[in-house]
Amino acid sequence: MAQQRRVQLSTQRPTSTVCVLGTELSLDVCGSAPKDAVTFNVQGTPGVKIYVVHDTQSVKLPSSVSRWPLAAGAEVLLAMDTISKDVGDEKVRISYYGEAGGVPVGRAMLYLTCVEISLDADTTRSGAVSKTLLDKATWTWGPDGHGAILLVNCDRDDPKAEMLDNHDTAIRSYDDLKDMSQMVLRTRGPRTIFTGHRLVLHVDFGDADKVGVFYGGNSVALEEYKHVLGGSKLVYAVKPSRHQEESIFYVEGLAFPDLDFSGLVSFHVTLLESPEKGLLETPIFTDTVVFRVAPWIMTPNTAAPLEVFVCSVDNNEDFVAAVGALAEKAKCPLTVCPLPENRQDRWIQDEVEFGYVQAPHKTFPVVFDSPRDRGLKDFPVKRILGPDFGYVARQAPEGASSLDSFGNLEVSPPVTVQGKEYPLGRILIGSSFPRFGGRRMAKAVRDFLVAQRVQAPVELFSDWLRVGHVDEFLSFVPAPDRKGFRLLLASPSACYQLLKEKQEEGFGEAVMFKGRVNMLVLGKHLGIPKPFGPEVGGQCCLEQRVRELLEPLGLTCTFIDDYFSYHLLSGEVHCGTNARRKPFAFKWWHMVP
């Protein structure tokens, strides 16, 4: 339904007003009628569409009826579909008649100027801003959904900068602008009309600390881009250019969705009519566009690896070499965090988790820094944060436990649960048993993960373990059939049964059991903790059983000796490595949470 505005008329002097393209004006024909008037007549110039509403019916003029009774509820509606070339170049005249008819007892004249004012964004999610008939003031999910998308500008495009791009109010590079979403204000019509009107761009108070808006005017020089909205700046007065019909604003996100933030942000442009001095300005038109801040999305083990991370600490040279050889097989770059940067902290899986953010115009990885904060606490900011590589963190005010380490944070491949599709998988976190107390992941982290909405978290009972991480007892590997993956679950009973069988076959006593599912998955190449089980026919029977289960899936098993360097310290291969992976091909806005 078109925006509609009531216009007061006068028989004493002409009235002038603006009609914004796509809106309607409702004329108060009864309020301006002389006392002895009983009927009225409406006439307008060709550029004005006129409708008379009478007895709940709307009649488009001209019609066979020449005069209309001034009954209660009588209304005249106007609309214009052509931009004016000059101020007041279209007009409407209302003539009032008494009981005798004949000569009018009064006339009201209205001069009209049609302008276009439109605030647009990429509501069609095509990667470019275009005008649309979609409702810009709403945001909907799904393949047929609509609504603009905003990225949290959490990378650092200028290597010389000391903070994230969205922590200041300056544009330091053109790459910084590319991370932002465009918002286009279109103004067409006689420029002189704005001498008696003011155009303001504004953001709701509750949204102001979630966004920043920059505007460079007619210039493309970086130094001309100014911070105009966001923070303490709620309103920006726009001065339409005499030579350009479009003003391009650049919008950045400052915060991810969270417990107290749905992710939706509204921007408005309002045309204010400036009356005589001493009176308040009157809003005569508002256009609104809604953005949703893109969520942080985690990638599963089954996604293609793009980069492998491992720490170099005292006496783990063989482990680093083995991980490097596996990465080379998978044709994946290896990044080694040196001792001065890890400060003898080898548990890189526990410190960070890799994910990404995505909008139709841009995708970039974002590292999620855990509340753990041990020796590796500075590594994500000093070595990972950079151009097109973002950073986000959450703290644990109540104090971090082992369950706040990100070895306790996994995500499944795409799944369907009881008919409900999760095309980006579901996040899995370890927790205590319900109603029995115990350790849980920090509330700030859990709230953050839930608020992203696209990978609905599931809490699993892991507090029975000393370390308590989900990666101690489950992992996902790619598979060519069924759902495209297999869930690997640690099974002490299956291991015991195997060892018992071998013992009964005369192959010696049962020995140690290690967490083989705590593995590094690089496509079809698996780096598995070497189990050191009983040898049968010159082969470790545990390694043999793992091969029998996984190699028919097209997977290659490489067993890595991590006994002294990780196992005795309560961790395995997955705990000591990390991987950045390829984003999902599926676009998150196509799902329905």
C-beta of residue 457 within 8 angstroms of C-beta of residue 446: yes
Provide the edge-to-edge strand list for the sheet that holds 409-411: 409-411, 427-431, 458-461
C-beta of residue 199 within 8 angstroms of C-beta of residue 271: yes
d(CA 284, CA 576): 62
- Residues with Cβ within 8 Å of residue 506, at least 6 apart in sequence: none
Q: Find the helix or strand (DSSP H, E) in which 7 lies.
A: strand 4-7
Q: Is the peptide bond before 62 cis (omega within 30 degrees of 0)?
A: yes
Our measurement of the distance from residue 130's CA atom to the centroid of its chain's CA atoms, rounded to an integer in Å, reads 20
Mark whether 332 is an active-site residue.
Answer: no
- Burial of 296: CB neighbours in 10 Å, binned 0-12, 13-18, 19+: buried
| φ, ψ of residue 323 in degrees (nearest 5) | -65, -40
DSSP assignment string, 497-550 = HHHHHHHHTT---------TTS-EEETTEEEEE-----EETTEEHHHHHHHHHH
Q: Are strands 235-238 and 246-253 parallel, antiparallel or unpaired?
A: unpaired
Q: What is the dihedral of CA 112, 116, 117, 123, to 10 degrees?
A: 150
Structure-token match 């579909």, residue found: 81
C-beta of residue 336 within 8 angstroms of C-beta of residue 103: no
Count CA within 13 A, CB hemisphere, residue 180.
26
d(CA 124, CA 110): 38
d(CA 317, CA 339): 12
* Residue 248 zone, left/alpha/beta (φ > 0; ψ -120 to 50; rest): beta
Neighbours of 534 (CB within 10 A): 19
Tokens of 311: 């720490």
Neighbours of 138 (CB within 10 A): 13
Tokens of 234: 């709620």
d(CA 69, CA 71): 5
Our measurement of the distance from residue 75's CA atom to the centroid of its chain's CA atoms, rounded to an integer in Å, reads 44
End-to-end Cα, the chain, rounded Å: 28
d(CA 299, CA 353): 9
Structure-token match 């508002």, residue found: 286
Q: What is the dihedral of CA 15, 20, 24, 25, to 10 degrees?
A: -10
Q: Find the helix or strand (DSSP H, E) in which 351 lies.
A: helix 348-351
Structure-token match 């997977």, residue found: 555
Provide the edge-to-edge strand list for the sheet that holds 24-27: 4-7, 24-27, 75-79, 49-54, 57-60
Residue 309's DSSP bridge partners are 335, 578
Catalytic residue numbers read 575
